Amino acid sequence: MSNINRRTLVKGSLAMMAGAAFSRAAFADADPILLGVSGPLTGPNAQYGTQWKQGFDLALDEITAAGGINGRKLAYTFEDSQSDPRQSVAIAQKFVSDPRIVLELGDFSSPASMAASPIYQRGGLVQFGFTNSHPDFTKGGDFMWSTSVSQADEQPLLARYAVKSLGLKKLAVLHLNTDWGRTSRDYFNNAAKEYGAEIVVTEGYIAEERDFRSTLVRVRDANPDGLVLISYYSDGALIARQARQVGLKQVICAASSVYSPKFLELGGDAVEDVHVGTRYFPEDKRPEVQNFIAGFKKKYNGQEPDAFNAYAYDAMNMAAAVIRIGGTDRKAIRDAFAKVKDVPSVIFGTATFDVATRRIKGAMNAELVVRNGKFALWDGKPT
Amino acid sequence: MSSWLDYTINGLIVGNVYALVAVGLALIFGVSRLINFAQGSIYLVGAYIGWVAVVQLHTPLPLTIIVVAVVAALVGLIIERFGLRPLQNSVRIAPLLATIGISFVLDQLVMLTFSPNPRALPSQLPDVRFQVGGGTIGPLDLLIAGVGISSALLLFVFLRYTKLGWAVRAASQDRDAAMQMGVDVNRVNQTVFGIAAALGGVSGLLVGMYYNQIDTAMSLQATLKGVVAEVVGGAGNVPGAVVGSMLLGLVESYGVAVFGTSYRNLFAFLLLVVVLVLRPNGLFASARQAPPEPLTGTFIAPSRPLRIPRWALAVAVAAFAILPLLPVSFYVLQTLINAWLLGMLALSLTLVAGTIGQVSLGHAALLAIGAYTSALLSLTLNVPVGLAIIAGGLMSAALGTILISPSFRLRGHYVSIATLAIGEIVSLVILNWESVTRGPIGISGIPPLSLFGYDLISPASVYWFAFAVMVVLALLQARLLGSHLGRSFRAIRDDDIAARAYGLSLNRYKSLAFIFGGFAAGLSGGIAAHLYSYINHETFNTQQSILALTVVILGGLGNIVGAIVGAVALVGIPEMFRIAAEYRILIYGIVLLLLVRFRPQGLLGTI
């Protein structure tokens, strides 16, 4: 050891530094194309941020395996906003002033996303909100694009399932009292009425609510023949459980947002026979669905993907498709959103933006039911 | 009519659930006069320890309960020993802040260990259902009721008939006298924290099983409802907490029955305000009970504030004023804009909490009132934005003062709890008053900031605007504190009886403080609304109120410069630790705890 004197050490480290500098220079062109993600990793909505990550990472693996984007890697930097508008606006400024970022994804909640919209719009960076169903989100400007399934599209499908397929005539609607839940409820109620059903009671509940027994007594007294849940999986499971506990035996139909293995885990026996209108299902023959599910299970130890995983996965693939056309110029990327055609998508089959609304129409539809603790394609038999 | 039976049963069932948390809170409040904000976090820890025991280790139920109780008690003891005991000779408000910091840390640790995804916590009891009324109840309902009632009874007996129980009561009545009589007060505190934490942990376990669902967001909700139930029953009164919980459950259930689900929490918090106003000591306080401790005076200890020379302040203001001219990123400017907006809120709160001693936990409501007023005026009536923001400030001053006025007769912690409730009520009214506020859809397309017809859009101009408004408010407030008004405010804070004896009208001065504070907070809310362009009922939430109080305590109560320094620190710290991603809120909590530990009187000291 004593043979190694200071000079050799210096020489060695100099050589190493030179090597590092060289390797950086050689791959300078291969710096990844960077996307900014603003979303919750801590705070009350943290679970959704972690689901996004899973979907993103899977999509990125596939994109990299397919040679990246014109030979360059695609990558993202995830900034935690806690879904708080105060933090999402700061993140927006950070992304806008970071020249490496070519496109932004997120945020999760409407207050956080739409508070940041003016900054993205003025900064000329596309805000690609893939879970933003608020009807005014894309009205923030021509840099706001969304692949979130429009509730104007989705809810009539659920209404058709409940009223036409299942033959329910008197519906009780329970919805999350958020911008998403309210918008969805209105679309659902209108569609259900058009199909000839009657809405006998609607109840909005706040996201933190856990006890629904008294709400369900109200529902019981309205004497419906079916319950419709415009809920996320955790509250949807709670309602289903408590509905059975207070003795409601009616058919339950739920929006696609409950489509998650967690819904089955949290709901247990109580979610058996719950009908769910979804955008894809495991036995779907479409290659993009099979790819997604197989890849997801492989990457995450057999875990089943859920709706939010799928949204994130689709969003990352869409971002890649857009960048393939638009390159890395922010404005060209915005223009590319109008140009992408028929991007393979789990949710939409193939996705093409409607340039007027900056959203995508025509989500896929599958009518599922929970049988033996699993989501299965509904066989047309009444429950 | 059978429905009413069902509503009653459901009310009692959920009351049961609240009781478990409320009893623990009551016990701690009874002894240390402390609202333990970490109780919900212990509840969370209990639920997840239970999950490990049930799902991973497959322990039988009695063993699960013992394991959870022991681990939770240990957590409680650690909190008491390392979080609270070092603070026992410092300012009375320090432990409160410490429990907030501890709850951050515990919640984050659980989230990092178990991921934020909700988990199923299967019940280990046989799945038999008993028909009661139109619905059914299960064995778990009975177990929860059994644990709640028997623990309340046991505690009652313990406090009344055992030596250690006497010591606990003696310590709660007069800590110094108890110490002189040879009571080992530390041991008493340990005992109480251990018991309360064990109870909190077990309640998390049982409630998790009850819903077959545990997630990391359950902690704050548990604390909120537990506090309401506890105060309704009489703070520090253990059997009262059980009855208060049942009452709360019933009121909520009947509220749902009559008005619908979205009004549920409105009734819970209205119940709280009504009880506080009519019977400030809770429904079951005995007439002989000592009045609630005046937190003012003892709560806000005199300290020597750090005097900052005027020239230094002028230099600091000048430096921040020319900052946008220097090559700083928009991100830094935006972060500072957030800090200035929070600073205005903190100025408001430091006046009402620090200078006049009304520690408010519902300050975000003032932001919301200002924001909605300004947004709606500029959108629907085309009022110029500058005027709309001022109108927002005025509305916030007027409405805020009226709303808060019922709590003027309250003292100490009760003010905090009443304002917490009022804050929740405002948020729920915004959610439900759809014809005006557009309910959950919120208000979008709010015009950007503008002044005399010029749009303030660039980050630099927004920065200057927010900074200027804040500095003007700070100067006004400094002038106010230097005048006889400021002295009267402090007199009321330090000894309201003496102040009244000198002929000061307490309500009038408190109103004045809230008018000025409401105006500052309303301006902050108004500016935020135009900055964000979209607001809904969630934009200004309870976390904002807690953050504001943290800022104010951290900066030094009543200290104007302290409020601003605190705002910059608490906006800046989470941003600085962005690199730590998921860990940043954990780091934030630890920094907060360290600050409380070593600088309990605030960075710049109480004025």
d(CA A109, CA A106): 9
Q: How many residues does chain B have?
A: 607
For A279, the token pair is 């955008």
HSE-up (13 A, CA, CB side) for residue B511: 11
Query: Which residues of chain B make contact with A249, given a CB cutoff of 8 A?
Result: none
Q: With a cut of 90, say whether residue B93 has pLDDT above it.
A: no
Respond yes or no on whether the N-terminal peptide bond of residue B215 is cis (omega within 30° of 0): no
CB nearest A203 (choices: B111, B134, B260): B260
Instruction: Supply the pLDDT for residue B498.
Output: 85
**A222 in contact with B at a CB cutoff of 8 Å?**
no
Residue among B136, B334, B444 minimizing CB distance to A136 = B444
Q: How many CB pairs under 8 A join A and B?
A: 212
Residue A13 has pLDDT above 70, yes or no: no
Cβ of B533 within 8 Å of Cβ of A218? The answer is no
Name the DSSP letter for residue B13.
H
Question: Average pLDDT of B378-389?
Answer: 91
Are the Cβ atoms of B118 and A266 closer than 8 angstroms? yes
Cβ count within 10 A of residue B463: 23
Is the pLDDT at A17 greater than 70? The verdict is no
* Interval B268-305: pLDDT, tens: 888 888 888 887 777 776 544 555 454 444 455 566 77
Closest Cα in chain B, distance from residue A24 (Å): 23
The token duo for B346 is 């903190």
- Predicted confidence band of residue A29 (pLDDT cuts 50, 70, 90): low
Question: Touching check for A114 and chain B: CB below 8 Å?
Answer: yes
Does A117 lie at the interface with B, CB-CB under 8 angstroms? Answer: yes
Interface test with A, best of B1, B5, B6, B338 (most A CBs within 10 A): B6
Smallest Cα distance from A105 to chain B, Å: 17
Select from B192, B251, B202, B193 the least CA-distant residue to B222. Answer: B202
> Where is average pLDDT lowest: A153-167, B123-137, B338-352?
B123-137
How far apart CA A59 and CA B76 sit, in angstroms, is: 44
Mean pLDDT, chain A, rounded, equals 86
Partners of residue A237 in chain B, C-beta under 8 Å: 212-213
Best to test chain B binding among A42, A51, A89, A114 (most B CBs inside 10 Å)? A42
The confidence score (pLDDT) of residue B370 equals 95
Q: Residue B299's pLDDT is what?
A: 53
Q: Which residue has the higher pLDDT, A152 or B471?
A: B471
- Could you tell me what percent of chain A has a pLDDT over 70? 91
Residue A4: pLDDT over 70: no
A124 inside 8 A of chain B by CB: no
Contact check, Cβ <8 Å, A246/B264: no
- Answer whether A104 touches B (CB < 8 Å): no
> Judging by beta carbons within 10 Å of its beta carbon (0-12, 13-18, 19+), is residue A247 exposed, middle or buried?
middle
CB-CB under 8 Å, A90 with B575: yes
Q: Where in chain B is the domain with CATH 1.10.3470?
A: 2-292, 331-598
Residue A6 has pLDDT above 50, yes or no: no
Q: Write down the pLDDT at residue B430.
A: 92
pLDDT band at A188 (very low <50, low <70, confident <90, very high): very high
For the ranges B91-100, B118-127, B138-147, B558-567, the one whose mean pLDDT is highest: B558-567
Q: Is the minimum CB–CB distance between A184 and chain B shorter than 8 Å? A: no
Q: Residue B224's closest CA among B423, B32, B40, B45? A: B40
- The span from the CA of A54 to the CA of A32, in Å, is 19
Q: Give kind and range of the element (H or E) at residue B137.
A: strand B135-137
> pTM for the full model?
0.87
Q: How confident is the model at residue B70 (pLDDT cuts 50, 70, 90)?
A: very high
pLDDT in the model for residue A12: 45
- The Cα of B220 is separated from the nearest Cα of chain A by a number of Å equal to 10
The token pair that represents B496 in the structure block: 């309201």
Q: Which residues in chain A have Cβ-Cβ distances shorter than 8 Å to B539?
A: 85, 111, 115
Q: Looking at chain A, which runs of residues are DSSP E strands?
A: 33-39, 74-80, 101-106, 127-128, 144-145, 170-176, 198-205, 226-230, 251-254, 275-278, 343-345, 349-351, 353-354, 359-360, 366-371, 374-377
Residue B175: count of CB within 10 angstroms of its CB: 18
Does the CB of A261 have a partner CB in chain B at under 8 Å? no
B218's tokens: 């359950």
Which is more confidently placed, A374 or B376? Answer: B376
- First and final C-alpha spacing in chain B: 59
Residue A67: count of CB within 10 angstroms of its CB: 10
pLDDT band at A26 (very low <50, low <70, confident <90, very high): very low
Contacts of B136 (CB under 8 A, 6+ apart): A245, A246, A247, B129, B130
Backbone dihedral angles phi then psi of residue A127, each to the nearest 5 degrees: -100, 105
Q: Give A-chain residues touching B265 at CB under 8 angstroms.
A: 206
CATH class of B2-292: mainly alpha
Hey, what are B517's tokens? 């504070």
Please choose, from the candidates A216, A203, A211, A296, the residue with its C-alpha nearest in 3D space to the C-alpha of residue A249. A216
In chain B, residues with a C-beta closer than 8 Å to the C-beta of A308 are: none
Judge whether B534 and B444 are in contact, CB under 8 Å.
Answer: yes
Concatenating the DSSP letter of every residue in B328-392 gives --HHHHHHHHHHHHHHHHHHHHIIIIIIS----S-THHHHHHHHHHHHHHHHHS---HHHHHHHH
Over residues A272-330, the pLDDT tens digits come to: 889 998 888 877 888 888 999 999 999 999 888 888 899 999 999 999 999 999 988 99
Which of B16, B20, B137, B539 to mutate to probe the A interface, most A CBs <10 Å? B539
Give yes or no for residue A363 having a pLDDT over 70. yes
From the CA of B100, how many Å to the nearest CA of chain A? Answer: 15
pLDDT for position B413: 74
Percentage of chain B modeled with pLDDT above 90: 29
Which residues of A fall within a CB distance of 8 Å from B135?
A: 213, 217, 245-247
Residue among B99, B401, B403, B372 at smallest CA distance from B269? B403
Partner B contacted by A139 (CB < 8 A): yes
Assess whether pLDDT exceeds 70 at residue A18.
no
Torsion angle of the four alpha carbons A132, A133, A136, A142, in this order, in degrees rounded to the nearest 10: 50
User: Which contiguous run of DSSP H or E holds residue B320?
Assistant: helix B310-322
CA angle B53–B58–B61, rounded 5-degree value: 75
Q: Model confidence over B502-546: pLDDT tens digits? A: 888 888 888 999 999 999 999 999 999 999 989 988 888 888 888
Task: Give me the domains of chain A, ranges plus CATH numbers.
Answer: 29-149+289-351 (3.40.50.2300), 151-278+366-377 (3.40.50.2300)
B438-455 confidence digits (pLDDT tens): 888 889 889 988 888 788
Q: Which residue has the higher pLDDT, B579 or A230?
A: A230
CB A88 within 8 A of CB A116: yes
pLDDT-derived band at A46, boundaries 50, 70, 90: confident
For residue A382, the model assigns a pLDDT of: 64
A165 pLDDT more than 80: yes
Q: How far is A43 from chain B (nearest CA, A)?
A: 8
Q: Please, are residues A95 and A280 in contact by the beta-carbon 8 Å criterion? A: no
Distance from CA of B456 to the nearest CA of A (A): 12
Mutation target vs B (from A214, A230, A271; most B CBs, 10 A cutoff): A214
Confidence of residue B584 (pLDDT cuts 50, 70, 90): confident
Minimum mean pLDDT range among B45-49, B79-83, B277-281: B277-281
Residue matched to tokens 């030179």: A18
Query: Please, what's the b/e burial string for A335-354 (b: 16 or more CB within 10 A of its CB; e: otherwise)?
Result: ebbbebeebbbbbbbebbbe
Domain B331-598 has CATH 1.10.3470: yes
Q: A230: which 2 tokens?
A: 């415009």
Tell me, what DSSP letter sits at residue B438?
-
Searching chain A, which residue's CA lies closest to the CA of residue B266? A206
Contacting residues of A for B10, CB less than 8 Å apart: 211, 213-214, 217, 246
Q: What pLDDT, on a 0 to 100 scale, did the predictor assign at position B97?
A: 80
Q: Residue A22 above 80 pLDDT?
A: no
Q: What percent of chain B has pLDDT over 70?
A: 96
Question: Which chain B residues are within 8 Å of A210, Cβ to Cβ?
Answer: 211, 213, 218, 221
